[in-house]
């Protein structure tokens, strides 16, 4: 046998061994329920929106992983949230829109127990919305609340002192009654934010909302998933697995689809107690000013 022929045979065997080695490594390090990190095959990425929406940081980070993973062909957003901060909800909406526009990967929402107000605001940015029959959704509106403890301070013989630079600077001061001018000011603010919500829904559900649906939902009511389907607020009745299958079909993947569901690191005791406002914990809500006590805040919250 010629020396060149032997060399080619050795090279072919070495290449075949290298391919087998790469495949073996990919299988060893493949995440549970998915395929390897080298992009062998396609999978559906899953990201959660859970609890009161206070920040988009973790959501943005997870979408970033799906953006760069070539084997993630579609995304399912699992929503189980009554809503939350106005700006935080709008950021989730924008992140989904940006992800769809820049990657071309379809995004399907899977609604769980509740996807109301800011949770629904987030959902309408997706290509397709799947809800359970008993999902509570809707609540298209804005709420502003605070506690007035002026009488309590008076009873305790404590007097609050405020020095301000303008007539409306301490609007919503919980130590005194609200004035007519302040009430008009807040009502105008609420109307403007509600208009932003309505515009987002109208744009996200363009051509899908039934006639009169927005007018019916204008009072901030919630509806079941079944009612939401009849109104055009969602596209399909189904569960999480149905949403994954829908996303896979939209991405022209075979069924059943593999999924990749990155889990955030479990918080330690100190994080649970003193974690930042991005966490949906009691401590996080306190630090963020979520509706658990004094001060006024504006929310897309049912």
Q: Which residues are known to be catalytic?
A: 117, 169
CA pair distance 302, 121, nearest whole angstrom:
12
| DSSP string covering 3-20 | HHHHHHHHHHHHHHHHHH
Dihedral sign (CA 13, 16, 20, 22) = positive
Q: Which of 76, 93, 123 lies closest to 258, judged by CA? A: 76
Q: 283: which strand partners?
A: none
Half-sphere exposure of 209 (CA within 13 A, CB side): 18
CA pair distance 34, 261, nearest whole angstrom:
9
Query: For the chain, percent helix, then strand, then coil, each to nearest 5?
Result: 45, 20, 40
**Residue 20 CA, distance from chain mean position:** 40
Degrees (nearest 5) of the Cα angle 247, 119, 214?
Answer: 95
Q: Which two tokens stand for residue 232?
A: 């055009």
Q: Which of 91, 93, 79, 92 lies closest to 49, judged by CA? A: 79
């Amino acid at each position: 046998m010629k020396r060149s022929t032997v060399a080619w045979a050795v090279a072919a065997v070495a290449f075949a061994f290298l391919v087998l080695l790469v495949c073996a490594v990919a299988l060893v390090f493949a995440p549970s329920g998915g395929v390897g990190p080298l992009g062998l095959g396609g999978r559906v990425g899953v990201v959660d929106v859970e609890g009161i929406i206070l920040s988009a940081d973790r959501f943005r980070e997870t979408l970033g992983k799906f953006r760069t993973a070539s084997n993630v062909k579609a995304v399912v957003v699992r929503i189980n949230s009554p809503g939350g901060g106005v700006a935080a909800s709008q950021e989730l909406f924008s992140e989904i829109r940006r992800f769809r526009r820049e990657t071309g990967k379809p995004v399907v929402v899977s609604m769980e127990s509740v996807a109301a107000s800011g949770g629904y605001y987030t959902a309408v940015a997706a290509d397709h919305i799947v809800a359970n029959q008993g999902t509570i959704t809707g609540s298209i509106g804005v709420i502003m609340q605070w506690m007035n403890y002026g009488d309590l301070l008076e009873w305790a013989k404590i007097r609050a002192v405020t020095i301000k630079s303008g007539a409306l600077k301490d609007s919503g001061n919980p130590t005194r009654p609200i004035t007519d001018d302040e009430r008009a000011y807040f009502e105008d603010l609420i109307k403007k934010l509600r208009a932003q919500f309505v515009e987002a829904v109208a744009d996200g559900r363009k051509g899908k909302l039934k006639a009169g649906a927005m007018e019916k939902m204008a009072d901030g009511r919630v509806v079941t998933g079944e009612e939401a389907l009849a109104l055009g607020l969602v596209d399909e009745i189904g569960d999480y697995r149905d949403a994954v299958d829908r996303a896979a079909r939209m991405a022209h993947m075979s069924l059943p689809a593999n999924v990749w569901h990155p889990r955030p690191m479990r918080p330690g005791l100190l994080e649970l107690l003193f974690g930042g406002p991005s966490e949906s914990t009691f401590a996080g809500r306190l630090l963020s000013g979520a509706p658990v006590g004094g001060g006024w805040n504006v929310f897309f919250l049912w």
